C-alpha cells in the first residue's frame, strides 16, 4: 500500500537495524481515518473467502483489527494475554515466548466465541518473528476453526515471520514490507 509506505517515510522512525517506531499513527497515538483506510484494504483483499470472524492479539492489533472487522461487517475476537496460567475449562490457552521482550505469557480464548464452524482472519500491526501469530493460530485451531490468513500493517521482511507462517500453510498479506532498517533509514521491498 503506497500510502502506508509514504506515511512510514514521513512519520516512522528507524531506531536501529531491528526496530521501527510508528508510535505517532499506529500504536501509541492512532490516526483513525488512516487506520480505517488500511482496514478497508485488508478487508477487500480477503473478501469473498468465507471469513466469519476477525481475531487479533491485544493490544496493538486491536485498532487495525477493529477497522478490518468493521469493513467486513464481522465480529472481532480479542485473544487475551495473561501473565500466569489460570486453570479454566471454558478457555483455550497456549504459552507464547516473546524473544523481543524476553517474556512468556499465556494467550487465552473463550470457547464461547470461536467454534469449528468459523473461518478466522487474523490481524496484527507488526509481523516480525511470527511467534505471536503462530501462537494465535495454534489457539484458534484448538477450537477446530480454520484460518483464512494473516493480515498485517507492517511486515519486517528481514525477520522470519512470513516464512514461518507460509510453512504452516498460512497466507500473509502485508500493507508495507520493510526489507532493511538502519538508524534513520528505511528500505521497502521492491
Ligand atoms: P512477533 O510478534 O512477530 O512474534 O515478533 P516479536 O516476538 O519479535 O515481537 C514482539 C512484540 O514487539 C510484538 O508486539 C510486535 O508487534 C512488536 N514489534 C516487533 N518488531 C517491532 C518494531 O520494529 N516496532 C514496533 N513498534 N513493535 C515491534 P506485542 O508483544 O504483541 O505487544 P503489543 O504492542 O501488541 O501489546
Query: Is residue 178 helix, strand or coil?
Result: strand
Give tens-digit pLDDT for 32-79: 999 999 999 999 999 999 999 999 999 999 999 999 999 999 999 999
Which atom of ligand 1 lies at the shortest distance from residue 161's CA? 3
In a domain, 47, yes or no: yes
Q: Is residue 185 part of a domain?
A: no
| Contact between residue 4 and residue 153 where contact means Cβ atoms under 8 Å apart | yes
DSSP at 23: I
Q: Is residue 176 lining ligand 1, measured as CB closer than 6 Å? A: no
Query: Which residue owns the Cα nearest ligand 1 atom 16?
Result: 126
In the reported structure, the alpha carbon of residue 15 is separated from the centroid of ligand 1 by a whole-number distance in angstroms of: 14
Grid coordinates of 72: 467486513
Please name every residue paired with 156 in a beta bridge, in sequence order, or none if there are none.
178
Interval 83-102: pLDDT, tens: 656 667 899 999 998 776 77
**Do 56 and 124 touch, CB atoms closer than 8 A?**
yes
The total number of structural domains that make up the chain: 1
| CATH code of the domain covering residue 48 | 3.40.50.2020
Assess whether pLDDT exceeds 70 at residue 183: yes
87 occurs within a structural domain: yes
pLDDT for 118-139, tens place per residue?
Answer: 999 999 999 999 999 999 999 9
Return the higher-pLDDT residue of 99 and 111. 111
pLDDT at 89: 82
Q: What is the mean pLDDT of the chain?
A: 95
Domain range holding 74?
Answer: 2-162
Measure 128 CA to ligand 1 centroid, in angstroms. 7
Q: Which residues contact residue 76 at a Cβ distance below 8 angstroms, ignoring those fewer than 6 apart?
A: 53, 54, 55, 56, 62, 65, 66, 69
Q: Is residue 168 part of a domain?
A: no
Q: Is residue 178 in some structural domain?
A: no
Contact indicator for 172, 45 with CB cutoff of 8 Å: no
Q: Is residue 177 part of a domain?
A: no
Grid cell for residue 144: 477446530
pLDDT at 115: 97
User: Is 38 within the bounds of a domain?
Assistant: yes
Q: 48 in a domain, yes or no? A: yes
The C-alpha atoms of residue 42 and residue 163 are separated, in whole angstroms, by 20
Amino acid at each position: 500500500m503506497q500510502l502506508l509506505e509514504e506515511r512510514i517515510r514521513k512519520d516512522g522512525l528507524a531506531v536501529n537495524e531491528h526496530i521501527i517506531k510508528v508510535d505517532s499513527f499506529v500504536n501509541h497515538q492512532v490516526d483513525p481515518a488512516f487506520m480505517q483506510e488500511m482496514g478497508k484494504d485488508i478487508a477487500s483483499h480477503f473478501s469473498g473467502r468465507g471469513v466469519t470472524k476477525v481475531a487479533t492479539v491485544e493490544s496493538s492489533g486491536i485498532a487495525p483489527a477493529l477497522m478490518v472487522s468493521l469493513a467486513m461487517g464481522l465480529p472481532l475476537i480479542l485473544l487475551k494475554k495473561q501473565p500466569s496460567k489460570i486453570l479454566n475449562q471454558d478457555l483455550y490457552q497456549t504459552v507464547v515466548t516473546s524473544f523481543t521482550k524476553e517474556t512468556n505469557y499465556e494467550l487465552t480464548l473463550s470457547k464461547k466465541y470461536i467454534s469449528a464452524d468459523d473461518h478466522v482472519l487474523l490481524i496484527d500491526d507488526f509481523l516480525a518473528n511470527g511467534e505471536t501469530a503462530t501462537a494465535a493460530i495454534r489457539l484458534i485451531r484448538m477450537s477446530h476453526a480454520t484460518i483464512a490468513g494473516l493480515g498485517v500493517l507492517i511486515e519486517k521482511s528481514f525477520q522470519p515471520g512470513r516464512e514461518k507462517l507460509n510453512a504452516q500453510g498460512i497466507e500473509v498479506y502485508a500493507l508495507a514490507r520493510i526489507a532493511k532498517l538502519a538508524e534513520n533509514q528505511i528500505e521497502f521491498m521492491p
